[in-house]
Structure 1
């Protein structure tokens, strides 16, 4: 079994299933998600992709690692600065990560993942999305480097503004066809 984040990345490459490396332990993850979860991840990625320059940013969902001080996470959606090193196994400068809640992830997404993600020096935003209703929680880093949040955003008419990325996320578009 791997003992470090780097060992884990090499060990995990090409393996079936999903897992993270947290505080020195391999943690198995959920591999089957609901249709609502899949829709939200796709739609969020699409909204980000329409607004961010692909020569400057990489956007992905679920399969690319983000290194934290305590290990390796695989967020549901991420934005990283684009680099020419195409063989990387983990984001170098993640700017945005999002997690979509499930009944099994609620405590982690609002607990240890907040600490893990907000501990990243380059991260500007951490977003958590309900998969059952149009409700999101946003942590933001201010100009002085301090984290604020979570700001709760609820309702289909709302917009989540990621000012540092010049991105606006339309909550109604995200949740179209996903009823409470």
Structure 2
């Protein structure tokens, strides 16, 4: 199945799905800890975008990011900048920041296949992998010739390019 076929197939289908190499996978129901983490990350990113005065939109999970003709993922949060998306859009073509909250069942794909897939897109500057249990963020940033990585458990994540400052503590507030 192609991503175009998948998007048509998934349009009125209940539940959430992703497609990897033409094969459709259901996304498992999430635990409260996972949902809370996604919510806090969305709020923290939204606050950073507003504070920075940037023409960007922050989306929670639910938006599709096409990796190639047969692979598309649904990150737990993302940031895209530029023109406001059409209200009926289901796909973000040029995300700058993608976020995955790991859980025991998704850790391997979030840190492997999705990592490589997101950075295959020229627009992606930052990939954040959030571990709500260990309360840390693995920040992968596109450098001039390499992907730079760091682990943050406190302080402020500086997301350059973009110029966003996201306090790590806000990503785990009330956790």
Q: Which of structures 1 and 2 has the larger relative contact order (alpha carbons within 8 angstroms, sep 6+)?
A: 2
Distance 2:34 2:108 in 1: 17
1:72-124 deviation per Cα after TM superposition (whole angstroms, max 9, x unaligned):
10000011234353322200211000000100011101111111111011010
Distance 1:113 1:85 in 2: 26
Structure 1, unaligned stretches of length 5 or more? none
Within the candidate set 42, 45, 54, 2:42 is matched to 45
Q: Which position in structure 1 is the counterpart of 2:126?
A: 125
Alignment of 1:149 with 2:151, yes or no, is no
Q: Which position in structure 1 is the counterpart of 2:97?
A: 96
Any conservation in 1 of the 2:40–2:173 contact (CA below 8 Å)? no
Q: Which position in structure 1 is the counterpart of 2:159?
A: 162
Query: What is the number of equivalent residue pairs in this alignment?
Result: 171
Distance 1:167 1:101 in 2: 23
TM-score normalised to structure 2 length: 0.89
* CA positional deviation for 1:132: 0.5
TM-score normalised to structure 1 length: 0.87
Distance 1:147 1:52 in 2: 26
* CA positional deviation for 1:36: 2.2
User: Taking structure 1 as reference, are residues 49 and 72 closer, same or farther at Cα in structure 2, changes over 3 Å only?
Assistant: same
In the TM superposition, 1:1-180 aligns within 5 A as: 3-31=1-29, 33-52=30-49, 56-69=55-68, 70-81=70-81, 82-142=83-143, 144=144, 146-154=145-153, 157-178=154-175
Distance 1:166 1:26 in 2: 36
Mean Cα deviation higher: 98-107 or 8-17: 8-17
Alignment root-mean-square deviation, CA: 1.8
* CA positional deviation for 1:55: 7.8
4+ residue segments displaced more than 6 Å: none
